[in-house]
Structures are given as structure tokens and as C-alpha cells.
């Protein structure tokens, strides 16, 4: 093939790849940060129920429909474990979910991820601050920004939760909560008063870790579909 034709072909192929690249960077309906409690009060079994609850929720047909039925037909999601003020570990990096296959792969990553934090106190404020940090690394534009904090205790290490919440809300982030009542029966009141905030903020308490799975399914549907 003559050199000129080869050059033209390479230029054409380069331009033909641009739409796929643009699609990868297309906006999403929601950027969702999932923050799972790994403090010392959370037993190994309790944590597994918590993580498996997240994974099973993303396999629920109602959640899948909610993800795919938005204006942009997709969301961005990341998952991290947390306990003390400086103890957070991003387990699944930002992942764009635009198809059933994307969602299934994300659920499998969640289900297979090991627990990496086993103590260090409880810092809800640290979880919020780290979630805000991760949103700062978001690789696409999102119509809504949400940090979803699950946990079974109030802050006992680090600064109080309200200043962290207020800073996140000022940055345009909504904080929702999933308090687990197995340790502190009134933890839902704490989440209501000191943790959640921002436009449409809400919480759904789970009576214990066994009930976490159904609670997170309900919560994800409401978050993704923006029904609250």
C-alpha cells in the first residue's frame, strides 16, 4: 500500500476510535461511594454479611433496572472499608456501570474482596472525609454525588461527624446512612442528627447484620433512582 494511503488509513482509524473513548468518559447519573464499617465492634461474620449484602444488592433486578434507566444509563461506584480517623482502604476503585455485565462484574469484585481493617476505633467523620477525597478523584462527570455510610457505632476516635458532614454538603455531596442497630439501639438517631446531610439525604436502619442485605437493596434503589 502506498505510504500516503497508509497514513490516511491510520488517521481514519484514529478518528474512528474517538467515539469509544468519549463514551468511556460520558457523564453518569450518580457517583456513589460505599463506605463499610470495619471497626472492632464488627465481627468477621458481621462484616461478611455487610459486604455480601452490598454484592447481592447489585445483583437484584430492581437495582439493575434503576442503574440502567437513568438519563445517562449508568452510574460510577467505588467501595471502601473504614474504622479510625486514618484507617480507610479503597477496595474497589471507581467503576463505571453501564450494562448488566458491568454490574455483575462489580458485584463479583465486592463478594470476593477480603477484609483489610479489623479495628482502630470508629470515626464516621474519617469515613466521610475519605469519601469526599475519593469523589475528588472521580474520572467522569456525575449529576449527583453521594456517600453512603454504613456502620454500627458513633464516632469515638477523631473529630465529630457534623463538621465533616457539613464540609461534604458544602462541596455538593449528599451523605446517606445505613445504621446497624446491633450494638447501639439508638444509632439511627445519631445518624439522623449528626451524619446524613445534603439534598434528599435519608437513612434506612437495619435491625442487625442479618437484616443488612434487604435494607441496602431498598436503599440503593432509592439512591440510584433519586426517589428521596
In tens, the pLDDT along 114-158 reads: 999 998 999 999 999 999 999 999 999 999 999 999 999 999 999
Which segment, 23-27, 74-78, 115-119, 214-218, is predicted with the most confidence on average? Answer: 74-78
Q: Is domain 27-225 given the CATH code 3.20.20.10 in the classification?
A: no
Q: Mean pLDDT for the chain? A: 88
Total residue count of the chain as it appears in this document: 228
- Give the count of alpha carbons within 13 A of 135, CB side only: 26
Structural domain boundaries in the chain = 27-225
Residues 8-54 have pLDDT tens digits of: 333 343 433 333 334 458 999 999 999 999 999 898 888 888 889 99
CA 18 to chain centroid: 29
pLDDT of the residue at 185: 84
pLDDT of the residue at 1: 52
Going by DSSP bridges, is the β-strand pair 28-37/75-82 parallel, antiparallel, or unpaired? Answer: parallel
Amino acid at each position: 500500500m502506498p505510504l500516503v494511503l497508509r497514513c490516511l488509513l491510520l488517521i481514519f482509524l484514529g478518528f474512528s476510535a474517538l467515539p469509544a473513548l468519549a463514551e468511556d468518559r460520558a457523564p453518569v447519573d450518580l457517583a456513589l461511594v460505599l463506605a463499610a464499617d470495619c471497626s472492632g465492634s464488627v465481627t468477621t461474620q458481621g462484616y461478611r454479611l455487610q459486604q455480601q449484602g452490598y454484592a447481592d444488592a447489585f445483583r437484584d433486578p430492581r437495582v439493575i433496572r434503576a442503574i440502567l434507566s437513568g438519563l445517562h444509563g449508568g452510574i460510577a461506584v467505588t467501595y471502601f472499608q473504614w474504622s479510625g480517623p486514618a484507617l480507610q482502604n479503597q477496595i474497589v476503585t471507581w467503576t463505571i456501570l453501564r450494562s448488566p455485565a458491568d454490574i455483575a462484574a462489580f458485584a463479583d469484585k465486592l463478594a470476593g474482596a477480603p477484609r483489610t481493617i479489623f479495628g482502630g476505633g470508629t470515626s464516621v467523620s474519617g469515613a466521610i472525609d475519605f469519601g469526599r477525597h475519593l469523589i475528588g478523584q472521580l474520572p467522569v462527570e456525575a449529576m449527583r454525588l453521594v456517600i453512603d455510610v454504613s456502620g454500627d457505632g458513633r464516632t469515638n476516635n477523631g473529630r465529630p461527624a457534623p463538621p465533616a458532614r457539613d464540609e461534604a454538603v458544602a462541596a455538593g455531596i449528599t451523605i446517606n446512612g445505613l445504621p446497624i442497630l446491633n450494638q447501639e439501639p439508638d444509632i439511627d438517631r445519631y445518624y439522623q442528627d449528626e451524619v446524613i446531610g445534603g439534598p434528599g439525604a435519608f437513612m434506612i436502619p437495619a435491625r442487625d447484620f442479618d437484616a443488612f442485605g434487604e435494607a441496602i437493596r431498598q436503599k440503593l434503589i432509592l439512591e440510584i433512582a433519586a426517589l428521596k
